[in-house]
Structure 1
Amino acid sequence: MTADPLLDRALVEEATKKSGLVWVQGEDSPARALWHVWHEDAAHLVGDGPGEQPLPGLVDGGVAEVTVRSKDKGGRVVAWTARVSELAPGSEPWEAAVAELKGKRLNASDAEGITDRWASQCRVVRLTPLDGVAELPEGSLAAAPLATGATTRQPVPGGLPKLLFKRKRR
């Protein structure tokens, strides 16, 4: 992107820190929007467990493409390539990452026991930027939404328009 790798590194770090959501494309998988925290010069993710985000294609020792969006406008700011490493539960890097992730995890049903659940049922993944790989995004990356069981197509209930557009009496 620029001739100075330190500026590239600073752009990647600042953009990723400020964005609560990044698009990550692992090996042989589509890009997914994932929440993360920036800690010790890398993005950290937790997932692949009950109630957590899926992390397909993020294998230990692999590479992933990360696209960072602007927090206020939602547009792409920078894209970078990362080395994927899975942190071993209970290790010092795992404990440090989980302490940061726990503080940013919204809507956890079991906030007190979340670290135990993550240790036994989930994966904590570290995405470390590779040097000299930051680039300003160009072109559209628009894609059809991934299939999910969370959406259904059903007709609108008959009484709903009357309820929505009913005039208030004075």
Structure 2
Amino acid sequence: MTTLGAKAEELLDQALVEEATKKSGLIWVRGSEVPVLEGQARAVPTRALWHVWHDGAACLIGDGPGEQPLPGLVDGGDAVVTVRSKDKGGRLVAWAAKVVELTPGSPQWEAAVAELKGKRLNAPDGEAMTGRWARECRVLRLEPTGGTSELPDGSLSAPPLPTPATTRQPAPAGLPRLLFKKRKRRQA
């Protein structure tokens, strides 16, 4: 392959990563292994995370109260990002990333937070959330480090990760009667 061909392929990979990540609302991220004991590490599961594409990287907010967890994503560490198609939901591209934690109040942090703030849905504290993010959360940039990875075959489906947010309780006994009563009134 000629040098021009390799450079063209690299540019196409960059364009694919940027365009796919910009358009996707969620990305699947697997961070570095987490040390458990001396000489031992635990693999970190892949997580679906919301993000914004800003200034050549995927920006994330998390690890604070009411925000998404970011296990295995440490400053200076590596991550693998898989991007899905917004239309069909299938995997489009996987890319390697370097994790960079932004310092609260820095110009990069301010720019990333301005973008993230516009995409954050259902924030409990509205306009005060940026102050909470500065005090209690981490803002990360996942910067692409090279070309794309080969996508694996198969579904890669797995059971959902345990979370305190899931509360499965039976429906109240009177609920079906209330629902059916409203339908009868509408039909009359």
TM normalised by structure 1 equals 0.90
Equivalent runs, 1:60-99 vs 2, <5 Å = 60-99=75-114
Is 1:8 the counterpart of 2:23 in the alignment?
Answer: no
* Contact 2:96 2:147 (C-alpha < 8 Å) held by counterparts: no
Structure 2 regions of 5+ residues with no counterpart?
A: 34-43
Letter in 2 for 1:60: D
Cα RMSD over matched residues? 1.9
CA displacement at 1:165 relative to structure 2:
4.6
Structure number with greater CO (CA < 8 Å, separation at least 6) is 1
Residue number in structure 1 paired with 2:31: 26
CA displacement at 1:99 relative to structure 2:
1.2
Q: Deviations over 1:81-133 (max 9, x none)?
A: 11111011111111111111111111122222222111111100000111123
Which has the higher mean CA deviation after the structures are superposed, 133-142 or 100-109?
Answer: 133-142
Q: 1:57 aligns with which of 72, 76, 81?
A: 72
CA displacement at 1:164 relative to structure 2:
4.1
Count of matched residue pairs? 169
Is 1:114 the counterpart of 2:119 in the alignment?
Answer: no
* Contact 1:79 1:137 (C-alpha < 8 Å) held by counterparts: no
> Take 1:108 and 1:117, find their aligned partners in 2: how far apart are those partners?
11
Which has the higher mean CA deviation after the structures are superposed, 5-14 or 135-144?
Answer: 135-144
Which has the higher mean CA deviation after the structures are superposed, 125-134 or 135-144?
Answer: 135-144
Give the helix-richer structure, 1 or 2. 2
CA displacement at 1:65 relative to structure 2:
1.1
* Contact 1:9 1:134 (C-alpha < 8 Å) held by counterparts: no
> Take 2:173 and 2:135, find their aligned partners in 1: how far apart are those partners?
47
Is 1:149 the counterpart of 2:164 in the alignment?
Answer: yes
Q: Deviations over 1:57-94 (max 9, x none)?
A: 10011111111111222221111111111011111111
Q: Percent of aligned positions with the same letter in both sequences?
A: 73
Structure 1 regions of 5+ residues with no counterpart?
A: none
TM normalised by structure 2 equals 0.82
CA displacement at 1:49 relative to structure 2:
0.9
Equivalent runs, 1:121-132 vs 2, <5 Å = 121-132=136-147
